[in-house]
Amino acid sequence: MLNNNTIAVIKSTVPVLEVHGTAITKRFYERMFKSHPELLNIFNHANQKQGRQQTALANAVYAAAANIDKLESILPVVKQIAHKHRSLGVLPEHYPIVGENLLAAIKEVLGSAATEEILEAWADAYGVIADAFIGVEAEMYKHSEEQAGGWAGYRAFIVEKKIKESDVITSFYLVPQDGKAIAGFEPGQYVSVKMDIPGERNTHIRQYSLSDAPGKPYYRISVKKEAGEPDCPAGKVSVYLHEQINTGETLWLSAPAGDFTLDQKDARPVVLLSGGVGLTPMISMLNTLAETAPDRPVTFIHAARNGKVHAMREHVEQLAQKLPQLSVYWVYNLPTEEDAASGAFHKEGYIDLEWLRSKVPASDASFYFCGPVPFMKAMNQALKTWGVAEADIHYEFFGPAGTLD
């Protein structure tokens, strides 16, 4: 437990963190990777290059400081991050490394403003927060290994099928190399894929949503090919998967993880909103509902650039023909002439609140959304403006968590 003086000192640093938080976390990662380059085998290099990881950590540190007197209020965030840590293989021995470099970064960036009292208070606070993460993650590691079909670390899977879903998205059907059972999962969860790419110094790990319902003898991931920039590592793994990984080859997976999951106990209508490759967890949720709750009202709305990049459209439309309670709508930002001629979409442009309210029967429903950050911000704002209860708004960031406000 932290004493009152430590809590007061931490709270006094909140305004400073609001201004200098990202500078601190940027310096933190620079220091840590220089002294412990082996950790580059865990962290996503693209997120580092783009600044997303630094921003996410800055937001987490700020939230911890602002809520240091009621840390239980940030437990949902702790669990969300812990899922990612467990999936990546973050271990208790990594936390002292993080703490040492975080405190050093605070001292470097703030200079004389970082008094001994402030540094000592943050050292105490970090110890409490680290213990919370380690405890939550220990339970997750135990469950991951001891559940039926579970395993520790990474397990070899064979690519049984490779299916092109659109011009940019390909599905990989993965079965365990050892022929044994695989762990179940909640619709909406993801797996980490660890890859050693020829010519690359470090291992790359990427997290991909499972895109089919649980209970199958395989896992399916549906991956968008991200071209990226020449000097940016974005797309290294997805391009390698698309161009180099074929049927019969091996991928290494961690057990399923994630807290963005479908509430299957809720019998109310459910609305699934997706943009681009954000449809992958929604397909898992939709397929699960089709199998386990075919009478539950579902509205499935997907936004894509055009029909060429729209994955799994035929599959969803076939489900809609079988399930009278399923309503399906497509929104194309830049439809092709072929799309227009075939009537392939229901709205051109973007999803706005007026149109959304015309397609969704009522706001008393469970809403799930995923996609590019601008899409998610627009959906979050629309739902809040509509008066949807915060408890009924669920979303997932692909990559480090950001803010939608």
Instruction: Name the band, by pLDDT with cuts 50, 70 and 90, for residue 54.
Output: confident
Domain 155-253 has CATH 2.40.30.10: yes
> Which overall architecture, per CATH, does domain 4-146 show?
Orthogonal Bundle (1.10)
**Dist CA 7 CA 9 (whole Å):** 5
What is the pLDDT of the chain when averaged over all its residues? 92
Instruction: Name the band, by pLDDT with cuts 50, 70 and 90, for residue 400.
Output: low
The reported pTM is: 0.93
Instruction: Name the band, by pLDDT with cuts 50, 70 and 90, for residue 103.
Output: very high
Q: Which residue has the higher pLDDT, 288 or 46?
A: 288
395 catalytic residue (yes or no): no
User: Which listed residue (29, 95, 173, 368) is catalytic?
Assistant: 95
95 catalytic residue (yes or no): yes
Per-residue pLDDT, 102: 93
With 60 as the cut, is the pLDDT of residue 232 above it? no
User: Which listed residue (38, 117, 126, 137) is catalytic?
Assistant: 137
For residue 207, say whether it is annotated as part of any ligand binding site.
Answer: yes
For residue 157, say whether it is annotated as part of any ligand binding site.
Answer: no
The interaxial angle of helices 14-35 and 4-12, nearest 10 deg, is 90
Domain 270-396 has CATH 3.40.50.80: yes
Per-residue pLDDT, 233: 56
Per-residue pLDDT, 56: 77
For residue 277, say whether it is annotated as part of any ligand binding site.
Answer: yes
Per-domain residue ranges for the chain?
4-146, 155-253, 270-396
**Dist CA 35 CA 33 (whole Å):** 6
Average pLDDT over residues 243-267: 96
For residue 147, say whether it is annotated as part of any ligand binding site.
Answer: no
* Least confident span in 24-28, 167-171, 253-257: 24-28
pLDDT by residue (tens digit) across 264-284?
A: 999 999 999 999 999 999 999
* Least confident span in 148-152, 204-208, 394-398: 394-398
Average pLDDT over residues 346-362: 95
For residue 400, say whether it is annotated as part of any ligand binding site.
Answer: yes
**Dist CA 89 CA 151 (whole Å):** 12
The residues, ordered by sequence, that sit 6+ positions from 146 with a Cβ below 8 Å of its Cβ are none
